[in-house]
Structure 1
Amino acid sequence: MTKSIRVAVLAAAVTLLSACTAATVPVSSVDSSGLGRAAVHVGIAYDSAGRGDKSFNDAAGAGLDRAKKELLVEATEATTAAESDDARADTLRGLAQGGSNPVIAVGFLYAAAVGTVAKEFPDTLFAIIDDDSVSAKNVVSLLFSEEQGSYLVGVAAAQATRTGRVGFVGGVDVPLIHKFQAGYAAGVHSVDPDIRVDARYLSKPPDFSGFGAPDKARSAARRLIDDGADVIYTAAGGSGGGVFEAVAAAPRTWAIGVDSDQYASAAEAVRPRILTSMLKRVDNGVFQEIQAFVKGDRAGGSKRYDLKVDGVGYATSNTVLGPYRSGMEKARYRILSGAVKVPTK
């Protein structure tokens, strides 16, 4: 190539880049090696509770926010318009048609929709949180060991109870939420097998409203408290706020949150009564999946987030947890060493 041609090509490239920059549409980002790469546009589909649930969806959103800041990706966020497979499929389809790749579905309720839409867009990578039922080359499952984190907060509950009775409020009576209950009960009984663990579920399939029914959660927690429970763990998504309200209104009781550090997001009057939260690091899962895509990983399959990779854990924001942390850390090491295998049922 002659010098004059090279100069002309370079000038054209500079002109094009300047035009794109003026339009505020990023055409590339720069990785640690200094090489340019095409911008990644992520689509994320929340369940019907959407962002603002102070739980599951917000955790996923936090991972996306981190990716936008650190990886310089663009993003489109959407929330399903209705609790139906067709509505969820429309949400995913709209993201894929709009050019998002990867598309991340937040929650196992998207399973059928992912199975349908992934076939329509074979060149788009779909990631789904909490489900591994869809087997396709362009579908990756992001799975979490909720039972392990629940075991740790169960240890705290066993140490904190004065009545010898603790409670569990599950959003929907499904196998996923059973993992939370099973791990929690196992953690409680590892400290004292005589402590009673009572459970209440807010709805059963095909009714999935239990993830967004704080009034039902408040009533369920009140019944548990009336029966003597003085520590209540909630794994109910957006319904958890109802549990916190019931605990705040009862003397000498504690609540344990889920997914994100709910002490940090709770109302001022409720905050002191949230002993800890089981951290399900959906934020890490979402961020790491986007990071893998940016680096060129387009493979389907499944990825597991457990204690070993900081996929689950517990919050320490409330200083009253201090006396119980030694026992929780000992339990963590027993799980990591393989001495304890936490049940999922």
Structure 2
Amino acid sequence: MRKKVMATVLTAAMVASISVVPQSVAAATDPSDLKIGLITDVGGVNDGSFNQSSWEGLEKAGEDLGVTVNYLESATDADYQPNMETFVDEDYDLIISVGYMLADATKEAAEANPDTKFAIIDDSSIDLPNVTSLMFKAEQASYLVGYVAGLTTKTNNIGFVVGMTNETMNQFGYGYCAGAIDANPDITVQQFNANSFADSATGKSMANTAITNGADIVFQAAGATGLGVIEACQEAGVYAIGVDSDQSSIAPKTVLTSAMKRVDTAVYDAVQELIDGKLEGGVETFDLAAGGVDIAPSQDLISDDVIKAVDDVKEKIISGDVVVPDNKDDFEKKYGDVYVLD
């Protein structure tokens, strides 16, 4: 990953915490002249998670800022490139890709269309001046929900279902396992890879396996696949932990908390930067200190003492007293080889 510097001020309460390229600031653009398109991953725009939160951020930008917004859903990965071509052919000013799985299609489109701006969530591999990478310290939010799980479980046995395993998604697992172990050294974390972000049946099956094997809390970082996890937990009368957005509305008596990534705000801010002439290529990373990640505000199912403990460890993460591992080597240095999915 390249390490460069960017002088960009983000709107709202979020600020990039690492490196992006230097930029020349262009003149602001009339928002009514701008068209911004969003391309979902295979989970679809109503996945209750990553894609939906991204679209909600873009919808809000359309309402607040006066830009024209639209989305195209990807039913399979074969839809990525045609969706890119549709927005390019229709002269969209900014095309936002939701998720690292769109990296190849985004890079190809950006190389072929240097005058069009692109942004991609959760991928920093594209080194082009017209591509902005929106990254999140997912391991920090996952650590917090792992800490909640470790302090809340009655069986000392919890589960984790991930949509796919790779460098980005494993950050959820590293953080979750680290937080759970730090809160409860006697904890067992059952781990499952669904190998899909759009297979709720597999998510449900994996959660049921975890529950049968003693888990009383299951965290899912799996897009629409995670909806099946929540359904299984609801039917079994155990807790689920949501991801990306506050998923408590899906099952208010089941979703204990959620590991939030404010992709909605990141998308909104990217549009604002485009309007202001400040959106340039590089990496913008959103962390706990800037409010880019956190646990959900819905905390009715969490005990007061657990909330206090989580607030305390949150401050330690922000201060640097607790450093959450975001890669295999750093995780294993402290916790051993208990994370088995990478």
Query: TM-score if structure 2 supplies the norm length?
Result: 0.84
Counterpart-to-counterpart distance in 1, 2:29 and 2:113: 29
- Aligned AA (1:61): W
Identity percentage over the alignment?
35
Whether contact under 8 Å (2:43, 2:75) holds in the other structure is no
Paired residue for 1:336? 318
Aligned structure 1 segments of 4 or more residues deviating by more than 3 angstroms: 34-38
Counterpart-to-counterpart distance in 2, 1:178 and 1:113: 22
- Aligned AA (2:240): A
Counterpart-to-counterpart distance in 2, 1:105 and 1:199: 28
- Aligned AA (2:319): S
Question: Matched residue of 2:240: which SS?
Answer: strand
For 1:134-283, list aligned pairs within 5 A. 134-203=126-195, 210-251=196-237, 253-264=238-249, 266=250, 270-283=251-264
- Aligned AA (1:321): I
- Deviation per CA, 1:147-176, whole angstroms, max 9, x where unpaired? 000001111101110011111011112222
Paired residue for 2:25? none
Counterpart-to-counterpart distance in 2, 1:214 and 1:258: 15
Counterpart-to-counterpart distance in 1, 2:82 and 2:30: 33
Whether contact under 8 Å (1:43, 1:96) holds in the other structure is no
Shift of 1:318: 4.3
Paired residue for 1:309? 290
Unaligned runs of 5+ in 2: 1-27, 328-342
Whether contact under 8 Å (1:166, 1:229) holds in the other structure is yes
Shift of 1:329: 0.8
Of structures 1 and 2, the one scoring higher in RCO (CA 8 A, sep 6+) is 2
Counterpart-to-counterpart distance in 2, 1:193 and 1:322: 20
Counterpart-to-counterpart distance in 1, 2:30 and 2:282: 28
Question: Equivalent of 2:271, from 286, 290, 295?
Answer: 290
For 1:81-96, list aligned pairs within 5 A. 81-84=75-78, 87-96=79-88
The structure with the larger Rg is 1
Shift of 1:48: 2.2
Whether contact under 8 Å (1:76, 1:100) holds in the other structure is no
- Deviation per CA, 1:13-70, whole angstroms, max 9, x where unpaired? xxxxxxxxxxxxxxxxxxxxx9966622111111122211111110001110110111
Paired residue for 1:69? 63
Shift of 1:110: 0.7
Counterpart-to-counterpart distance in 2, 1:149 and 1:78: 28
Whether contact under 8 Å (2:59, 2:69) holds in the other structure is no
Shift of 1:189: 1.2
Counterpart-to-counterpart distance in 2, 1:154 and 1:36: 44
Q: Quote the RMSD (CA, aligned, Å).
A: 1.6
- Deviation per CA, 1:157-215, whole angstroms, max 9, x where unpaired? 01110011111011112222210010011111111222111101112xxxxxx111111
Question: Equivalent of 1:121, from 113, 130, 148?
Answer: 113
Paired residue for 1:30? none
Aligned length: 299
Shift of 1:344: 1.4
Counterpart-to-counterpart distance in 2, 1:161 and 1:81: 37
Counterpart-to-counterpart distance in 2, 1:181 and 1:298: 31
Higher alpha-carbon deviation: 322-331 or 176-185: 322-331
Paired residue for 2:48? 54
Counterpart-to-counterpart distance in 2, 1:81 and 1:153: 30
Paired residue for 1:13? none
Shift of 1:83: 1.6
Unaligned runs of 5+ in 1: 1-33, 204-209
Paired residue for 1:14? none
Counterpart-to-counterpart distance in 1, 2:30 and 2:151: 54
